[in-house]
Structure 1
Amino acid sequence: MDKVRWGIIGCGNVTEVKSGPALQKAEGSELVAVMRRNGALAADYAQRHGVAKWYDDAAALVHDPDVNAVYVATPPGSHHEYSLLALQAGKPVYVEKPMARNHAECQDMIAASEAAGVPLFVAYYRRGLPKFVEIKRLLDSGVIGDVRFVHSTYLQTLRTYEEGTEPWRIQPELSGGGLFVDLASHTLDILDYLLGPIGEVKGFASNQSGGLKQVEDIVTTSYAFESGVMGTGVWSFSSYTHQDVNEIVGSRGKLSFSTFSGDLRIELADGSVEERNIPNPAHVQQPLIQTVVDELRGIGRSPSTGRSAARTNRVMDELLRDFYRAR
């Protein structure tokens, strides 16, 4: 296609700065329509962002002839439904992360994409951010030697909510789980990008605090990448403090970095240490969206596809299966 003309299904908070303006600013891209079930909110978004059309019905947006690609930006509970709607109409889809509530839904979406002959992309936008592109370059250059293992630690203090006010992120029927699914998916996906697919996975999930509506508030894991690199991780959402660090250890050094901020530390066996801060662009999804637009225009490939994103859902399913089976 000469130009990608996007329609957004679900123009909520994530689209205000992170992604909506990026669809307008990417080269070869424009945002032509938005949809929200509340038509007044859709109209307000369209007016504020200079979008020509708005809808309160997803099918109407999908079948608009001016729309030739669809961005599904709803909570995960409707990713499957809306992605299938667009894919079966022959329109490429860019869907928010996590890709769906579970791996089975991901597989349905991939099958629909392949049956229709149109691509499916997922908004794991860290794959396009300068910091993670630089980390991948460092790893590929061998600066820390052969990678041996990775460890991830994510800690967060407990958040409490009044009954009936819980956000969708801790409602499994909408999100697929608790905060682990929303936040750890970013880490698991970027490690897939940096080190390749994860193979065997073992771990435990529990609710230690009694809060968060009995969704998981701690997950621990040990896993092996298909390459032979080993990994461990812990995500605790009822801890005493906040911490976010990933350590990739090699035969000649270590890379330390957070998932959610710009810091990067390089430590080498010769004793040298380098610390960097690589800031995000104003619209964090724009670099990845540009790769999606380029691929749709036939001039490149995006690093975040339905197949790569489904691997992260598979890992999370393995870690959460016993926890939810017991409920």
Structure 2
Amino acid sequence: MTNAKLCFIGAGFHASTNIYPSAIEAGAEIAAICTRDLERSKAALQRFGSRGTAYDDYRQMLRKEECDGVVVVAQPGDQTSLVLECIQAGKNVYVDKPLGWNAAEARHIADAAEQAGVVLMVGFMKRYAPVYMKLKEWISGQTLGAARSFQATFAVDSTPFCKDEEQFIKLAAIHIIDLLRYLFGEVVQVTGFRNTAGEYISQNLALKFANGITGSVYFTGMTAWSRESERLLVTFDDGFASADEINTLTVHQSRTSGTLPWKDLEERDSVFTPSGSPMSGGYRDLYLRGFVGEMAHFMECCRKSITPLSSGRDNVQTMDLCDRILSALV
């Protein structure tokens, strides 16, 4: 990891808890911070040990600051216009999801970034989480044969920030939706059922991918799940892999001999998990959830002018799938 100069727009709870510390851990230098309040911008700089410049006008910051990229973590309704102005200023941009509220808006922004020749990356951090990166290796390497099917579960108390199904899909479940695209490719068929009551969300989906992989998805957002939970089980030709709660991947390789399974010790499990050492401080969570990895990836893309894994163009397909899921629910 090497240093890159980044400017930031936004210093709310998510940005301060996850994005700023991860960027610093990945080697970023905070060149400037802009919020709506100058004193708040100064306080954020001080909190993260930066001697950069505080702003309360992002347009002034974009004009004055020379940086490798701009990190935008604002309210969802503000992000589209903010990103477009960053692109028009010729800046590389990382933006927290969602970017655009639908596929048409996402496509407009992706077009603008490509025309301007700047890097545009969307914050789908699960692509950079070690457990899912390891699972992706098993899927791509086909050590267990081809992936055939999956079961995914995502449960969270989304009631404080999601008041209906569209908000739930595009502000919370979108991370899993994007992850499934990253792991398995593009979806060709969606069916779904709901048992939703207002902000209490309950959804079951069936997805079929272009490569033939099929899977079931369970989404729920309600106060019953004050403890967030996510699991992903993938079945291969010759075994299965289970990603549990972000921090454990269990890979089961089925027996290869012709004897009965209870006669020998042919079957085996491999468990991949991080150390539980307290020496990690608060950074263990930021690494395991993928925040440090995505910040490192963004800075590398800025320095090398390469297309991010979770690019603005790729984001168009994720937003399209979100809308197709909403349309499929009955």
Cα displacement (A) at 1:9: 1.0
CA-to-partner distance for each residue in 1:88-136, whole Å, 9 max, x for gaps?
1111110102333222221111011012111210111222232222111
Q: Is the 8 A contact 1:150 1:247 kept in 2?
A: yes
Instruction: Select 1:317's aligned residue among 294, 312, 323.
Output: 323
Larger Rg: 2
Match for residue 265 of structure 1 among 250, 258, 263: 250
Q: 1:233 aligned to 2:222?
A: no
SS of match in other structure, 1:264? strand
SS of 2:251's equivalent in the other structure is strand
In structure 2, what is the Cα distance between the partners aligned to 1:3 and 1:95? 19
Residue identity opposite 1:219 in structure 2: Q
Given the two structures, how large is their TM-score scaled by the length of structure 2?
Answer: 0.82
1:145 paired residue number: 145
Quick one: distance in 1 between partners of 2:203 and 2:8? 33
Report if aligned partners of 2:129, 2:246 keep a CA contact under 8 Å in 1.
Answer: no
Corresponding residue for residue 132 of structure 1: 132
**Using the alignment, how far apart are the partners of 1:310 and 1:301 within structure 2?**
15
Q: Residues 81 and 157 (structure 1 numbering): CA distance in 2 closer, same or farther, change over 3 Å? A: closer
User: 2:259 aligns to what?
Assistant: none
Give the Cα separation in 1 of the matches to 2:327 and 2:39: 39
Extract unaligned runs of 5+ from structure 1: 160-166
Aligned to 1:220: 204
Q: 1:192 to 1:158 in 2, by over 3 A?
A: closer
Deviations 1:277-313 (A, max 9, x none): 2477454422222122112211865322112223221
The alpha-carbon distance between structure 1 residues 219 and 268, as it changes in their structure 2 partners (threshold 3 A), is: same
User: Which secondary structure state, in structure 1, belongs to the residue aligned with residue 249 of structure 2?
Assistant: strand
Q: Does 1:292 align with 2:298?
A: yes
Judged with a 3 Å threshold, the aligned counterparts in structure 2 of structure 1 residues 322 and 192 are, in CA distance, closer, same or farther, namely closer
Residue 170 of structure 1 is matched in structure 2 by: 162
Return the offset for 1:322: 7.1
Q: What corresponds to 1:162 in structure 2?
A: none
* Root mean square deviation, CA, Å: 2.7
2:181 alignment partner in structure 1: 192
Q: Percent identity?
A: 23
Cα separation, 1, equivalents of 2:306 and 2:90:
20
1:163 matched to which residue of 2? none
- Asked whether the 8 Å contact 1:254–1:266 carries over to 2, the reply is yes
CA drift at 1:254: 1.1
Flag structure 2 segments of 5+ consecutive residues without an equivalent: 256-266, 276-282
Select between 236-245 and 108-117 the one with higher mean Cα deviation.
236-245
Task: Describe the SS at the equivalent of 1:152.
Answer: strand
Partner-residue secondary structure (3-state), 1:70: strand
* Equivalent runs, 1:10-21 vs 2, <5 Å: 10-21=10-21
Q: Give the match's secondary structure for 1:63.
A: helix
After superposition, the Cα gap between the structure-2 partners of 1:3 and 1:246, relative to the gap in structure 1 and judged at 3 Å, is closer
- C-alpha distance in structure 2 between counterparts of 1:227 and 1:30, whole Å: 42
| 1:272 Cα deviation from its structure 2 partner | 2.3
Residues 126-150 of structure 1: CA deviation (Å, up to 9, x unaligned): 2223222211112222233111112
Count of paired positions: 305
Cα 1:22–1:228 change in 2 (3 A) is: same
- Distance, in Å, in 1 between the alignment partners of 2:178 and 2:221 is 19
Q: Distance in 2 between matches of 1:87 and 1:141?
A: 37
SS of equivalent to 2:250: strand
Q: Structure 1-normalised TM-score?
A: 0.83
d(CA) in 2 for partners of 1:130 and 1:299?
Answer: 24
Corresponding letter in the other structure for 2:314: S
